[in-house]
Amino acid sequence: MGMPANVEIGSHVWVEDPEVAWIDGIVINIEQDEVEVQTRDGKTVAVSLSRIYPNDVEAPSGGVDDMTRLQYLHEPAVLHNLATRYEINEIYTYSGNILIALNPFQPLSHLYDVYVMERYKGALIEGLSPHVFTIADVAYREMIKEGRSNSILVSGESGAGKTETTKMLMRYLAYLGGHSGAEGRTVEQQVLERSVQGMKVSYI
């Protein structure tokens, strides 16, 4: 569903763009069910009223860490929020109790060290920045509380980072499980070795 019927000249909107998917602009003319929009790059485009989406110009400049807080939850708003956070190296964003992760295509080891794991251990989901450790921690605590198995679904396209995300989840769960070793290996090492073997089978 696109722009509501009360669109007027001067409204800030999103329109489709062949190069960047969506681009923001301002409505400069309205003719029945068609509008003219001057986009950020100075172009003027004519589009159907149903093909434009409202743009919240008062949204935080750095985006929001939970997209349920967006005023508009449509495709261009979601993509813009994710892109805005990605530009400042915030690769994790919540959408309610779902965590969206973007592949940074670079090492970010500082996000996954023991100090970070300790910070997220038992922390409230609202208390810290979105992180894969929060998802693992919540699943672990609920498993202990309910006394039954739990699961975490990791999905995405090829190259999205599913394997690395799964490794981080397993590493954190192993960290919560303790560090007593067997045959010279820690619990963390044993879990990671088994998870990697399992993932090799899954991805063949």
End-to-end CA distance of the chain: 40
Taken in order 157, 161, 166, 172, is the CA torsion positive or negative?
negative
| Token reading at 9 | 């000249």
CA distance 200 to 196: 6
* Binding-site sequence positions: 156-163
Which residue numbers belong to the known binding site for ATP? 156-163
Judge whether 55 and 14 are in contact, CB under 8 Å. yes
Contact 136, 167 (CB under 8 A): no
Six token digits for residue 99: 């965590």
